[in-house]
Amino acid sequence: AQSVAQPEDQVNVAEGNPLTVKCTYSVSGNPYLFWYVQYPNRGLQFLLKYITGDNLVKGSYGFEAEFNKSQTSFHLKKPSALVSDSALYFCAVRDPYNNAGNMLTFGGGTRLMVKP
Amino acid sequence: ETGVTQTPRHLVMGMTNKKSLKCEQHLGHNAMYWYKQSAKKPLELMFVYNFKEQTENNSVPSRFSPECPNSSHLFLHLHTLQPEDSALYLCASSQEGQGTTGELFFGEGSRLTVL
């Protein structure tokens, strides 16, 4: 079975500082990994994904994430946080070799608060 | 604009009412999903449709009834709901099959309040 853990319910960071939102996963094979962002009263927006290749993937709004196979992690990062980055962030994993269905498993979400 | 449109955005209903949520995707995808998002709870996958066939039903109560008439439209029919069913209902779509990566594209959600 596949699973995702986001160990922090909330991350606080000052504007202009680097931010990291943590994600670890468990899957039987090589994972497909995703990050989504949700602003208040909105749906989830796709930020970036890792499928294969370079471990550092770049996405929307200046975000990037690093795939670390040995630590089974896919942390979301941004060099300089903006107040407008304040939102709920979801990590998700998919086992591409799972024939039981097209299942994306989501983490519980991490609320990012960026203070001016 | 994500290419997935949900209506209505807000819905208030009594426990004896019958209403429906609608989702339409303009992305040419072949799979559609309903998720429930409640406060302080993880996202809950409710139903999955692949090529209009239901492939997943995560033990959802029968007062929720999905309908997928074609690959672009998905409905969630609601009947005799309970106050604990109040939540944000999210529709999503994806392209499934060989060579695809399966990321989901979400609508803006329908905020449901059951009185």
Burial class (CB in 10 A: 0-12, 13-18, 19+), B47: buried
- Look at A9-23, A81-95, B34-48 and tell me which has the smallest mean pLDDT: B34-48
Give percent of chain A above pLDDT 70.
Answer: 96
- Residue A99 clears pLDDT 70, i.e. is over it: no
pLDDT value, residue A98? 67
Give the mean pLDDT per block of 10 residues along chain B (115 residues). 91 91 96 91 89 76 93 94 95 88 93 94
Encode pLDDT of A27-82 as tens digits: 888 899 999 999 988 999 999 999 999 999 999 999 999 999 999 999 999 999 99
CB A102 within 8 A of CB B96: yes
With CA atoms as reference, the chain A residue closest to B3 would be A45
Q: How far A48 CA lies from chain B's nearest CA (Å)?
A: 9
CB A18 within 8 A of CB A80: yes
- Residue A97 clears pLDDT 80, i.e. is over it: no
CB B46 within 8 A of CB B34: yes
Chain B residues whose CB is inside 8 A of the A36 CB are 106
Question: What are the angstrom distances between the C-alpha of A9 and each of A87, A105, B41, B54?
Answer: 12, 17, 11, 33
CB pairs under 8 A between A and B: 57
Task: Give the burial string for A9-44 (b: 16+ CB within 10 Å, else e).
Answer: eebebeeeeebebbbbbebeeebbbbbbbbeeebbb
pLDDT value, residue B42? 84
